[in-house]
Amino acid sequence: MKKLLILFFFCLINSVALAQSVEQFNNTRLQKNKVGMLILGSWAIGNLVASPILASQSTGSTKHFHQMNGYWNIVNAALAGFGYLGVRSAMQQELGLTEVLDEQIKLEKLLLFNSALDIGYMLGGAYLIERSKNTLKKPERLKGFGQSLMLQGGFLLVFDAIFYFSLHQDHIQMMDWMKTLDISMQGLGLNFRYRF
């Protein structure tokens, strides 16, 4: 009976240490996500405040550039707002190891997909700029919108890339940490080793 109590106590201590490590990885992911949404939201709000003012003081392609920046950042502000609320809601949930890893992988895949879209936005902007040189139908608007797409796509590409690499470093650390776990059944006992 004494050996069983010692085994139970040892397993309890190790399971608490495991749960704390998983919680730490999850909190780090959520905090980075929260900071990311604050950065995106700040970029969006800055553009939403500045764009109408600058557009009203500009003409030609510059006016259209500022107009598109304003339009574009309505979407960015909405995404940042919903993302921030989602993070706050996720902070109330307790996730296990596999759930934390699943959430980590989903977010990394989303950022890679977004990076591909960002490149597409920039290519679309370059196309509009080039097209503005060969058309008589609103060339200033095409050029201004194209320049805006290049700027916004460029910002989002840098944002998504930095966010991805920051999270991916945590993913690598998590995988290294998981290699330190060794759980096996031996006879009637449970062998659980966790190396700090």
pLDDT bin (cut points 50, 70, 90) of residue 16 is very low
- DSSP code for 137: S
Mean pLDDT over 149-157 rounds to 97
pLDDT at 95: 76
> Angle at the Cα of 98 (from 94 to 104), degrees rounded to 5?
85
pLDDT at 96: 78
Q: How far apart are CA 91 and CA 108, in angstroms?
A: 18
pLDDT (tens digit per residue) in 41-72 = 999 999 999 999 999 999 999 999 999 999 99
pLDDT bin (cut points 50, 70, 90) of residue 78 is very high
Determine the distance from the C-alpha atom of residue 98 to the mean position of all C-alpha atoms in its chain, rounded to a whole number. Answer: 19
